[in-house]
Structure 1
Amino acid sequence: MSVDRLITSGTFALDGGSWQVDNNVWLVGSDEEVVVIDAAHDAAAILAAAGGRRITAIVCTHAHNDHINAAAEVAAAAGAPILLHPADQVLWAMQYGPEVPYLPLKDGQVIDAGDVALTVLHTPGHSPGAVCLHARELGVVFSGDTLFQGGPGATGRSHSSFETIIESIEDRLLTLPGETIVHTGHGDSTTIGVEAPHLADWLARGH
């Protein structure tokens, strides 16, 4: 079993603004097949990172454009489905309209990634359909933009809620074992144990 990180760069756009960002694309699986988590910016680089392994699914932690803008191209090239929580339909439509279909994710669903089982945790707040993916056997959670090294994901833009993201983190992520590694959507990884003591600080900041 393997977990590979690819960093891709491009533009995040929402609410009339745009920002240059670096995204983590995670490939999880075996020597034969992988699941792509967040197909961001560069389909060719993602397909190359698969290294000849069969891509069985493209899983979106949420539908902000910087996390999905290569999903359609990767899916078409690999013949693989795109999976997204339907509560993010409004964001998905901003990028793809009705032309690109996806399969709906639901809380508690288990996705096979080679020898690894990824359990879907619905963690709204950064967006309505944000999810994290818990690989219990690996002691890893893929947090998208819900939890970063240093705190929760941003909630200052449309379709987001600070109160909701804090509730999601407290109820769904900080209940995981402290040694659980948090592989994030941007930047460096962290652990649940490192982040958990700072919940009160995040609440006080209220950002």
Structure 2
Amino acid sequence: MTIAKLVTSGSFTLDGGTWDVDNNVWLVGDDREVVVIDAAHDAQAIQEAVGDRRLRAIVCTHAHNDHINAAGPLADATGAPILLHPADAVLWEMEYGTARQYEPLRDGDVLEMAGTALRVLHTPGHAPGAVSLHVPDLGVVFTGDTLFSGGPGATGRSYSSFDTIIGSIRDRLLALPPETVVHTGHGDSTSIGAEAPDLEKWIARGH
């Protein structure tokens, strides 16, 4: 089982603003099959990274457009299902309307990939349907935009909540082993242990 990162570039649009962003696209699998976490910006580049492997699923950590804008074209090209927590339906529909469907991803779901379990943790705050994917066998968690190297994800835009994201980090992510590697939606990876001391300060600010 391997983890690969592909960085793609494009735009994030919400609340009437647009920002240039670089996104981390994560591929988890072996030489036969793979899942893609957050299909951002460049479906062709992601498909090339998948190669001749079977794409089992396109998993969305949340439905901000920069994390899902390549999911539709990638699904069309490969036939892979798109998985998203239904609490993010309003954000999904900003990008795709109601015609394109996804399969619901819920807290506690377990995705099996090449004999390895990816466990879904609902970690709302940055977005209502934000999820993290914990892979105990690999000692990693994919946090999307919930937790970064340096602190929580942004909560200053529509459908986000500072108190909610702090609760998600405190209750779901800080409960993981401190050596757990955190693979983020943007920027560098970190670890639960590295972020925990500063996060205690953020949690204190949230109350």
Paired with 2:115 and 2:66, the residues of 1 have a C-alpha distance of: 28
- Name the counterpart of 2:60: 60
Residue correspondence of structure 1 range 67-78 to structure 2 within 5 A? 67-78=67-78
Does structure 1 conserve the Cα–Cα contact (< 8 Å) formed by 2:26 and 2:36? Answer: yes
Paired with 1:29 and 1:87, the residues of 2 have a C-alpha distance of: 27
Further displaced range: 115-124 or 150-159: 115-124
Per-residue deviation, residues 80-124 of structure 1 (Å, max 9, x unmatched) = 100000000000000000121000001000012223210000000
**Structure 1 vs Structure 2: percent identity of aligned residues?**
71
Per-residue deviation, 1:200: 3.0
Per-residue deviation, 1:204: 5.4
**One-letter amino acid matched to 1:189:** S
Aligned residues: 206
**One-letter amino acid matched to 1:188:** D
- Name the counterpart of 2:94: 94
Per-residue deviation, 1:202: 1.8
Per-residue deviation, 1:203: 3.6
- Name the counterpart of 1:142: 142
Please state whether the residue corresponding to 2:178 is helix, strand or coil: coil
- Name the counterpart of 1:125: 125
The CA RMSD over aligned residues, in Å, is 0.9
- Name the counterpart of 2:111: 111
Paired with 1:3 and 1:74, the residues of 2 have a C-alpha distance of: 19
- Give every structure 1 segment of 4 or more consecutive aligned residues whose post-TM-superposition deviation is greater than 3 Å: 203-206
Paired with 1:189 and 1:39, the residues of 2 have a C-alpha distance of: 18
Paired with 1:103 and 1:200, the residues of 2 have a C-alpha distance of: 35
Does structure 1 conserve the Cα–Cα contact (< 8 Å) formed by 2:141 and 2:183? Answer: yes
Does structure 2 conserve the Cα–Cα contact (< 8 Å) formed by 1:30 and 1:115? Answer: no
Per-residue deviation, 1:205: 5.5
Paired with 1:43 and 1:201, the residues of 2 have a C-alpha distance of: 39
Paired with 1:202 and 1:112, the residues of 2 have a C-alpha distance of: 34
Q: TM-score, normalised by structure 2?
A: 0.97
Paired with 2:200 and 2:35, the residues of 1 have a C-alpha distance of: 35
**One-letter amino acid matched to 1:199:** L
Please state whether the residue corresponding to 1:198 is helix, strand or coil: helix
Residue 84 of structure 1 pairs with residue 84 of structure 2: yes
For structure 2, which runs of at least 5 residues remain unmatched after alignment? Answer: none
Paired with 2:45 and 2:114, the residues of 1 have a C-alpha distance of: 21
Per-residue deviation, residues 34-61 of structure 1 (Å, max 9, x unmatched) = 0000000000000000121110100000
Does structure 2 conserve the Cα–Cα contact (< 8 Å) formed by 1:86 and 1:104? Answer: yes
Per-residue deviation, residues 151-176 of structure 1 (Å, max 9, x unmatched) = 00000000000000000000000010
For structure 1, which runs of at least 5 residues remain unmatched after alignment? Answer: none
- Name the counterpart of 1:18: 18
Per-residue deviation, 1:131: 0.1
**One-letter amino acid matched to 1:107:** D
Residue correspondence of structure 1 range 13-52 to structure 2 within 5 A? 13-52=13-52
Does structure 1 conserve the Cα–Cα contact (< 8 Å) formed by 2:170 and 2:203? Answer: no
Paired with 1:69 and 1:20, the residues of 2 have a C-alpha distance of: 14
Please state whether the residue corresponding to 2:182 is helix, strand or coil: strand
